[in-house]
Structures are given as structure tokens and as C-alpha cells.
């Protein structure tokens, strides 16, 4: 099936590793679309997850940020006008704290907390002399149908556990060429440095030359989910967060769980749920070792989520184009 009118779920990725993960989670892959809007430069993958026809798009190579994400979403909606719900699925930087035991490979899902909608743009606001920076932009929360599905899957996982790791393992068994890049890295590579430890040339092994530079964490128990799923606030901006001190300040102020660079450009014009696999700790020690697995974990969660939603419920939703034009 490649008729654009048959697709009701829009899925946006920022990076090619996220795009690969999304494609691998499809139950069926369809032919490329036969027609898109004349000004639509997006690359699309079409397919099916459960009963739902899904269209997946990715940002242009070398681009990131809220404006690029918004442009991809606008193009998608111009070519696939029957889309009812949206997903932003990919990787992000986690923010561990005493109350949030976030580790590499875990998943953070945007969820409204307090006065925040689930995503807030931390670089948009105003500076007033003698006061702290004031964030002024309000972003819409995810659609009710997605938030209800989140409650359902959260309940299911808490009662019975999840099978995300098994799902990823099954994919990599079928497509062995992806194994090296997308398998779960050794746990020893999950290093959480103290905030005052800045990355040194020579790799993170040299940064960790003394145990005092690392924050010790015990291994998860056998009855704990691994990867774990966290629900809460995602901070979004047009800049990569690689500063542990600013990271911690925003975490204390807003209880941020994750940093990323696209969602703020989507929430008001492409109502969606944001799902991020944690590949680093939003500090100077960023590396790509966990990106593949984190992308797979986020995509596997997104698939489980979609499978909880009946087809007729999505079809009953108003088209996103109608929501933003109305």
C-alpha cells in the first residue's frame, strides 16, 4: 500500500540510526509513495505496525534542531493529510538524579508534569536584569489518545514487565549486519561522571582513570526492568546539551529527565508523543557507543505503544491538519 490517504500515524526521526531502528520495527514495509506534495523534500518509509499504517520521515543529513523538525512535519502533513497522531522517536541525553535512576539504554517518554506539558523549550524566553532567565513559551501536551495509551502500557509493564530487549535481540538475529552497531554495549561502558569532570582528549577511559571521578551505582536487580522506562519532562532546544553543570541546574529547577533538540519545534504544529532512548548523559563525555541500542529501544517502545491503540480509535481522531488549521 502506498496511497498517502491510507496512513494515519506520522513518525519522525532526526538521525539515520533512528530511521533504521524505526524501519526495523515495522511489521510490514510498503512501497515508496507514488506521489507527494511538489515542495515536499522528505524521505519516507511506509509500513504497518499492528493494524496501523505508519509513515516515517527523517531530518536531512547534517541538520538538527526545532526548525528542521518543524519543516519535516509540515511537509509530511502536506503529503499525508490523513495523519491523526504523531510520534517523535529517537535518542537523547539522560539526567540521572537521586529520584530518577536513569541509565544508558533507558527510555524517557514525555509526560505532563505540573504546569509543563511534557516538553519545554529551555532556550526560549527572556532575560531580565537581576532575575533568572524566564522560559516563556508554552507547548501543547500530547494528544489524549496517546497519553491514555501511555497509562495503559505503563500499567502493563509494571505488572508483567516488558520484552523490549528480546524484541531488539530478535531483530538483530534476523539482520546480522546491524548487530555490532545496534546491540546493547557492555555495561562497563555506562559511566556517569561527576558534574565537575570535563572530558579529556584520549577518550572517556582516560577521564575515568580514578574512581573518584565517577558516581558509583549498583547493578539493577533481576526483577527490575532493564532498560527502564521513565515518564516526565523533556527539555528541548536548538543546541546540544554538553554541559553537566547547566544540565543539573535545569534538572533541579524543572525535574528534567532528558535533553534533545527537536521536540519543541513539533508540539504546537504536530501534536505528538516524544520517546527518547538514552545514549549519553548530556555532558562533555558524549559518544556514539550507545546510540544504536538506544534508538532501537525507543522504537521498540513506540511499537508496543501503537499496538495498544485500536485502529478505529485512531481513525476517529481529527486529522492533524484540521486541528492546526482550526
pLDDT, averaged per 10 consecutive residues of the chain (326 residues), comes to 88 98 98 92 97 98 93 97 98 93 97 88 56 60 96 97 97 97 94 73 57 79 91 93 87 92 94 97 86 98 98 96 82
By DSSP bridging, strand 134-135 and strand 125-126 are antiparallel
Spacing of C-alpha 304 from chain mean position:
14
Cβ-contact 73, 86 below 8 angstroms: yes
pLDDT at 200: 64
- In whole angstroms, give the CA distance from residue 76 to residue 84: 12
What are the residue ranges of helices labelled H in the chain? 16-24, 66-79, 144-160, 164-174, 179-182, 204-207, 244-254, 291-307, 311-316, 320-325
Q: Domains of the chain: which residue ranges?
A: 4-325
- In whole angstroms, give the CA distance from residue 118 to residue 223: 28
CATH superfamily of 4-325: Nucleoside phosphorylase domain (3.40.50.1580)
Q: Is pTM, for the whole model, over 0.85? A: yes
Q: Which residues of 99-126 are buried (b: 16+ CB within 10 A; e: fewer)?
A: ebebbbbbbbbbbebeebbbbbbbebee
Under the phi-then-psi rule, with left for phi > 0, alpha for psi from -120 to 50, and beta for the rest, what region is 125?
left
Amino acid at each position: 500500500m502506498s496511497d498517502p490517504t491510507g496512513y494515519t500515524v506520522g513518525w519522525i526521526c532526526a538521525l539515520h540510526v533512528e530511521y533504521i531502528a524505526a524501519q526495523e520495527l515495522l511489521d510490514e514495509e510498503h512501497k515508496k509513495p507514488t506521489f507527494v506534495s511538489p515542495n515536499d523534500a522528505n524521505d519516507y518509509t511506509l509500513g504497518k505496525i499492528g493494524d496501523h499504517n505508519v509513515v516515517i520521515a527523517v531530518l536531512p543529513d547534517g541538520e538538527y534542531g526545532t526548525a528542521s523538525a518543524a519543516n519535516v512535519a509540515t511537509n509530511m502533513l502536506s503529503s499525508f493529510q490523513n495523519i491523526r497522531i504523531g510520534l517523535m522517536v529517537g535518542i537523547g541525553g539522560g539526567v540521572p538524579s537521586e529520584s530518577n535512576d536513569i541509565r544508558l539504554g533507558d527510555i524517557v517518554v514525555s509526560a505532563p508534569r505540573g504546569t509543563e506539558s511534557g516538553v519545554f523549550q529551555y532556550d526560549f524566553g527572556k532575560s531580565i536584569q537581576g532575575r533568572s532567565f524566564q522560559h516563556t513559551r508554552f507547548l501543547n501536551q500530547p494528544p489524549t489518545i496517546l497519553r491514555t495509551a501511555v497509562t495503559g502500557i505503563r500499567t502493563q509493564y509494571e505488572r508483567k514487565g516488558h520484552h523490549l530487549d528480546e524484541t531488539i535481540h530478535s531483530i538483530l538475529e534476523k539482520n546480522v549486519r546491524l548487530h555490532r552497531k545496534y546491540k546493547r554495549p557492555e555495561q562497563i561502558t555506562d559511566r556517569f561522571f561527576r558534574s565537575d569532570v570535563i572530558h579529556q582528549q584520549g577518550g572517556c577511559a582516560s577521564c575515568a582513570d580514578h574512581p573518584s571521578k565517577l558516581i558509583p551505582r549498583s547493578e539493577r536487580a533481576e526483577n527490575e526492568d532493564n532498560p527502564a522506562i521513565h515518564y516526565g519532562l523533556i527539555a528541548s532546544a536548538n543546541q546540544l546539551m554538553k554541559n553537566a553543570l547547566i544540565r543539573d541546574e535545569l534538572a533541579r529547577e524543572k525535574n528534567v529527565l532528558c535533553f534533545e533538540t527537536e521536540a519543541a519545534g513539533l508540539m504546537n504544529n504536530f501534536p505528538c508523543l516524544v520517546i527518547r532512548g538514552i545514549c549519553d548523559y548530556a555532558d562533555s563525555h558524549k559518544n556514539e557507543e550507545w546510540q544504536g541500542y538506544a534508538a532501537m529501544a525507543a522504537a521498540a517502545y513506540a511499537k508496543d505503544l501503537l499496538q495498544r491503540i485500536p485502529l478505529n480509535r485512531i481513525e476517529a481522531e481529527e486529522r492533524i491538519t484540521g486541528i492546526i488549521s482550526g
